[in-house]
Amino acid sequence: MTKELEGKVGLVTGGTSGIGRETAVLFAKAGAKVVVAGRRELEGRETIELVRAVGGDGLFVKADVSKAFEVDALVQKTVERFGRLDVAFNNAGIEGVWVSIIRQSEEDWDRTIDINLKGAWLCLKYEIRQMLKQGGGGAIVNMASVTGLVGSAGATAYTASKHGVIGLTKAAALENARSGIRINAVCPGAIETPMADRIFGAPQVHKYVLSCHPIGRFGRPAEIAEAVVWMCSDRASFMTGQSLVLDGGFMAGPNAPS
């Protein structure tokens, strides 16, 4: 990998496992200093060890992205340690409880929206403030999903949160385009992560969801991370306000769950 993020400072939320962890490591390989945020301290420190193992410099900050003061502190700690913020991957998210809308609790709805959508909004707010303070310029990628583009029965809160992330991405990109801050989203299909194991772990569910991916397999975290690194690099300098779909053919066919 070329050092397309050489000299830059990157922030990854939800960096304790899966796509977030893989992206943090690839940020480091691409030359960036990396701040990893998450709620699980042990796993976060493990990610930083992986960052250092590839020759990178990193910092773990325990943070809950649904709380404004913690996100503000996260960005401030990034600047205190590394002097600035250049790129960010707002990846933190939860699946919530997948049940029918009439069985879903208000508590679960609130928690899912707070982390997935409000969390992305708060991260954007404080990341953009810092980038503007530096004089503008930068790149941010939000974690959406193919579920942000189609409905998914039994996952109303998750679906709504990811649709919201895509709209949020477009609006924020328009607000900041002239400041040189590019804001995009990535929309994965099913990826081999702990979250996917929880959602699709039952054999019949796994078989069905797999059948919705014409490529014949789930994606790998590295395949999403590679795209995020590209979107954060100058090679994607004309891309903003977009949602990049990486789904093994899910959206191209007639079999998407509804």
Q: Which residues are catalytic?
A: 158
Nearest CA to 136 out of 170, 181, 169, 175 is that of 181
Give the single-character DSSP code of 115: I
Torsion-angle region of residue 138: left (phi > 0), alpha (psi -120 to 50) or beta? left
Buried/exposed 30-59: b ≥16 CB within 10 Å, e otherwise: bbbbbbbbbbeeebbebbbebbeeeebebb
83: number of Cβ within 10 Å: 10
Contact 77, 59 (CB under 8 A): yes
Phi then psi for residue 68, to 5 deg, are -55, -45
Sheet of 87-90: strand order equals 58-62, 33-38, 9-13, 87-90, 138-143, 181-188, 243-246
